[in-house]
Chains A and B, each alone.
Chain A
Amino acid sequence: MTRYTAVTDADRHAMLDAIGVASVDELFCGIPQAVRRTAPLELPDGMGEAEVYAELRELAARNTSVEDEISFLGAGMYDHYVPAVIDMLMGRSEFLTPYTPYQPEISQGGLQVMFEYQTAICELTGMDVSNASVYEGPSALAAAAYLAKLTNGRTRFVISRAVHPHARETLTTLCAGYGMSVTEIPASEGVTDLAAWRSAIDEDVSAVFFSQPNYLGAVEDPEPLIAAAREHGALTVCSADPLTLGILEAPGKLGVDVCVGEGQTLGNRLDFGGPSFGFFAARNEHVRRMPGRIAGQTIDVDGRRGFVLTLQTREQHIRREKATSNICTAQALNALAGVVYLSWLGRRGLVELGELLVQRTAYARERLAAIDGVSVLHSQPVVREFAVSLGVRDLAAVRRVIGRCAAERVNPGHPLGIDYPEFPDGLLVAVTEQRSRADIDLLAEVLSRALTAERAGAQTPQAGGESR
């Protein structure tokens, strides 16, 4: 008996009696000896709650979170402010502990939230229909690819190199399964190279993919990208950053077929990369090929308004091998945080937040570009993230610079050279509403110092005080 099970000796006695066996061991007699484990698992003994807490705290203490440093780290997940109401609502038993709503009469809470979430995503993206969530951004993009494959059965995908490296890689990994190839289009001056994009698209292309803004922080010019795809009957997929959609045009308005994206910035924590959620929205004509759960409105026998999971014949539990996806468990609780966040921000809040981000990001880019040796990697319009060249020799140098900044408890951003060898001294810098002007000024100061030291060839102090 542990603190989660409750079988007392008296219970066990009565239960074994009722079943008609002499011992619990007898219940496992159907398992052949050859596959029975007799020795205990080689795991440490269990501990009480307080001890477990102490261990988890000790592990937490050895992580530098955004509470321990002023962070300009982005590249797909961002330190936006998560309001307290979200913690409270996500912690409620009624939202936290139920299963997927298979019995709608007692799941109206969850189903209504899905319906509201779907509405919010449609409003945000300008698309006709949304599902109730997928896992996260990169796999949402891969799911859009699968929809395109089911729709037109063509053989190739075309994707901009300015799409998040994780999304590009996820697409390639999944495509390898069902045998389609991926053509990557380079970026030029920070945005997708239009000429290369156009010449890569033909009647073999099933779908094209671009991000808005792209991984380098640049606002793309979507219309010619979409037009080129239309000309050859390819589906268009836009991976959009949801918090920029108060400022940037809705992908639905531009006529894309599918709009997906990473939902972390909508009320979800960083959590070292997950769980968050991916959103998946499309034009009406694609609804029957969409993956995942979809909540629909209906009425009950007495005419009361209610909600149910609908169009379930798309899904794995019914259509099995011909399903639109294998997805079962998704990210319902995180999507709840998403719709609560969007309702909290509100119609004007989304716009105001976007405007604040644009102004602060522009200021940050200007301040950093003014540092000796630093130049912008591109001068495209940006909303919340931008790229600079640090003017140092290579990726290793960039890491040293970051290390010096970290020692002063400022994290200046993500080294681009990891995924883009063509930008060996690139740095991706993200500015959220949590980074004040003072923080940005400090970043400029600290980065400048770190670069000076790098050029002078100084020893890198470790954040913890040890030297290598």
Chain B
Amino acid sequence: MSDLSETAMQRDRAVTIFEKGQVGRRAFTPPALDVPQRSLDELIPARLRRTEPARLPEVSEPELVRHYVKVSRRNFDLDTGFYPLGSCTMKHNPRLHERVAGLAGHARLHPLQDPARAQGALELMWNLERALAEVAGLPCVSLQPSAGSHGELAGVLLTRAYHEDRGEHRRTVLTPDTAHGTNPATVTMAGYDVVKVGTNAEGGVDIDDLRAKADSDTACLMLTNPNTLGLFDPNIAEIARIVHDVGATTYYDGANLNAVMGISRPGDMGFDIVHFNLHKSFTQPHGGGGPGSGPIAVAEHIAPYLPHPVVVRRGGEGTNGSHREFDLDYDRPKSIGRLRGFQGNYGCFVRAYAYIRSLGAGGLRDASEVAVLNANYLLARLRALGVCELLPPAYDRICMHEFALTGAPMKNELGIRTLDLAKRLLDYGYHPPTVYFPLLVEEALLIEPTETETKETLDAFAEAIAAILLEAREDPEIARNAPYTTPVRRLDEAGAAKQPVLRQEL
């Protein structure tokens, strides 16, 4: 269907690379064969060889470039606009990091290179570990896990190893009902049962419920603080004590670390195991869904079980004075083993390290302070514009780096849902906040501005929301049928799930 109001990008229908090109075109030219040619049959028996070729595209380099550049333009991104996704920490990705990660000494280093010839890499990893340990307030670090949920899995497996080493076989892991879905999923993968702990009226852990449920079957409590409502739990020390009293471990989900760097340390709060999301607080670009990195920091009593290899520093003063030697240590008899190949996502370590060296102690603290300031300011602006009459905060407290609003009054009064508000925001040039999470909040809108946004951006965003509400008061259909100006309009997700088409047919 064609409409005079269609945008150019909308008129441009999606065509995959598989539907482009012609037989015979190519972007790759192989090097010439410079060794004596032997019969292929002789080298690899015909019966082991491919019978039908893979039907990959046949395109020239210009076609390839044009296709992917065009496709890229159908994406909204953080460099382009405000991205206040709650619990995602969409802060600016410094371009210096791409430059240093691209240096051949980092980018073209083989993971199995002799450690004696990878001292720069090992020293970088060692320094990053020490910095993360300092931020966490826990001394022993592994950079191995590939993402946050991978770090969570590591943490629960470490817990299991710790208990079993003491001859204990526990069965459950406690998680609050506000927890991110990765927490319970991780618990099951690690062979435990989930026990949910309630949230009190102030948005923190229900201490009585916790006391009732923490027992000798409890292996661990998984928590994030501030939690997924953006609230710091003032009872955290008590919570840790209750859990430690039954002999269980305390696990800190680092997804919300951006609120507290240099201000409060998970180790000081009473956590035994912490994971970091380098792709959140430490600026690893999110890449549309990865790569990320989920290092963990642990207390001394958990350290023996860390995955191997462990980065170690051998000697201090060698024959040449202050020459240090870094190595990968596999002699870890109690280690849980490996969670993946090689050492982890080193490219992410380089970027995170560059960030930490750029900011230093003062800069990390500044990041968290401004993250919290920005969130509270945005909330104040929304209040001042009357937005909070229709979208009140779920908990009326000073928030940390993010806050949750409930769209229930808006739904009742204006007849539009959080989803509709989000879709209309797309037309205003914003990525919407997180919607429908945490599950505890009805018609939830979880907003995290991060510290790299200016006051002007926050003001403009608050005004956009106010404008959409005003618009909805006049005509709710506008938001209900939004978006209008994006490369495609609202998509049929039910159809996609009912009759899944998961590849291009050829």
Contacts and interface: CB of A to CB of B under 8 A. Distances in A.
A296 B500 contact: yes
Contact of A112 (B71, B426, B483, B493): B71
A261 to B, nearest CB: 12
22 contacts: A14-B455, A18-B381, A24-B373, A37-B262, A46-B359, A52-B96, A60-B100, A73-B113, A79-B110, A92-B72, A98-B286, A136-B146, A170-B340, A271-B347, A275-B347, A299-B492, A300-B488, A317-B182, A320-B194, A326-B153, A327-B150, A332-B289
B187 interface: yes
A98 B76 contact: yes
B496 A308 contact: yes
Contacts of B55: 123, 347
A12 B348 CA distance: 33
Given A46-B363, A248-B49, A308-B493, A97 B289 contact: no
Given A98-B83, A219-B48, 6 more contacts: A37-B137, A56-B124, A76-B342, A274-B348, A346-B59, A411-B113
B253 to A, nearest CB: 11
B465 interface: no
A456 interface: no
Given A2-B359, A109-B75, A274-B347, A173 B364 contact: no
Interface in A81-105: 83, 85, 87-89, 91-105
Interface in B333-388: 336-348, 350, 353-354, 356-367, 369-370, 372-374, 376-377, 379-381, 384
Nearest to A129: B502
A209 interface: no
A176 interface: yes
Contacts of B353: 56
B341 A170 contact: yes
Nearest to A125: B54
Contact of A115 (B146, B181, B455, B503): B503
A66, A79, A329, most chain B CB atoms within 10 A: A329
Interface string B367-411: 101101110110111001000000000000110000000000000
Contact of B502 (A262, A295, A306): A295
The size bracket of the interface on A is: 35 or more
Given A30-B397, A97-B79, A323-B181, A306 B14 contact: yes
Interface in A334-367: 334, 336, 339-340, 342-353, 355-356, 358-360, 362-363
Contacts, number: 728
Nearest to B356: A43
A329 B490 contact: no
Interface in A408-433: 411, 414, 433
Interface in B472-492: 481, 483, 486-492
A95, A105, A362, A440, most chain B CB atoms within 10 A: A105
B53 A246 contact: yes
A64 B117 contact: yes
Contact of A132 (B88, B93, B120, B289): B289
A329 B113 contact: no
Interface string B144-174: 0011111011001100100000000000000
The 6 closest A-B pairs by CB, nearest first: A60-B105, A273-B342, A333-B287, A46-B360, A273-B111, A109-B75
